[in-house]
Structure 1
């Protein structure tokens, strides 16, 4: 998807939400997205793509993943730079779960591989960024997501109209912060909603 086709989106009175955070409402009927916070990487008339930023990938950690991918040897795990050791591996969404996507700060860029989403945040999905992080020459802030969330043309707009999602401006601390479990409540508070007021709505269609 060409970035020039989706940026802004003001033409024709439509407003696209790339670069924004989606916050799942408790009435969200899809358990895959329950209590999720999603950073929208692309949104256009053709559909949308985003990365969940608040779902840990379970037992997978970044050093172990580097070994699995033959980027480093097992014995070299202890030599990794601190930001590589602590890099969060998340479940980015239900589509292409075997593929890795790195959301990162804009201080790192690979020509023809990195998509600049806004002034502060980029997306890179090649193994080169993992190698750079392992060497200590990667971005200052990053998360690695396995898989992504995708919507067909008009699908996300429909879900928003049906009160499935709230949205707000992106917040680098929310995206890259280490307190993964707290991100949902923090995202709601960011737009002035008390998470406790919403919890009673869960399960009501």
Structure 2
């Protein structure tokens, strides 16, 4: 699902703006111990950005690829692997209230932008302070995410900007669970199949 297909209307029962926490028994190795931020969820499917799987790419390398001079002081930061769909596409999660060419407000606190203008702004040190850059996204067809939820592959949790933007990526999965009193170690691996 591409950003241009995202519908701005919330549907009843939508998980849009929530976290998906991979359960310890997640069978799909691409999502083992991941936390994803749901950017869209409607009857046609869902789209999310994995926010705790590092790529081998830095912000500086992305800026260089786009012929942007980096004066951001973020050049050494790692870009996340947002998921296996459209791995060449950049997605920027950032605090709401700042708009770019393709910005979609996911909820009152977090927006998603997939246009080059936000990267141009970030490269010169202007863009939003709260920001996470990812390559690719995770996508589900109609009913697929609901099936995985029914099979206990994922746990849904309220999203928190602090986990996205202020928590080191290595601790996001555990921190989100702990904030809601969930003991991931005590859950074992029998639950959760993707």
2:99 paired residue number: 109
Moved over 6 A (4+): none
| Matches for 1:1-205 after TM superposition, within 5 Å | 1-5=5-9, 7=10, 9-10=11-12, 15-58=13-56, 60-72=57-69, 77=70, 80-82=71-73, 84-85=74-75, 87-111=77-101, 113-198=102-187, 200-201=188-189
Of the two, which has the highest radius of gyration? 1
Q: What is the TM-score of this pair, normalised by structure 2?
A: 0.90
Counterparts in 2 of 1:88 and 1:118: CA distance versus 1, 3 Å: farther
TM-score (norm 1): 0.86
CA contact (8 A) 2:100 2:115 kept: no
RMSD across aligned positions (CA): 1.8
Shift of 1:174: 1.0
Gaps of 5+ in 2: none
1:204 and 1:154 map into 2 onto residues whose CA distance is 17
Q: Unpaired runs of 5+ in structure 1? A: none
Aligned to 1:182, the other structure's residue is in SS state: helix
After superposition, the Cα gap between the structure-2 partners of 1:2 and 1:149, relative to the gap in structure 1 and judged at 3 Å, is: closer
Equivalent pairs counted in the alignment come to 189
Structure having the larger proportion of residues in helix:
1
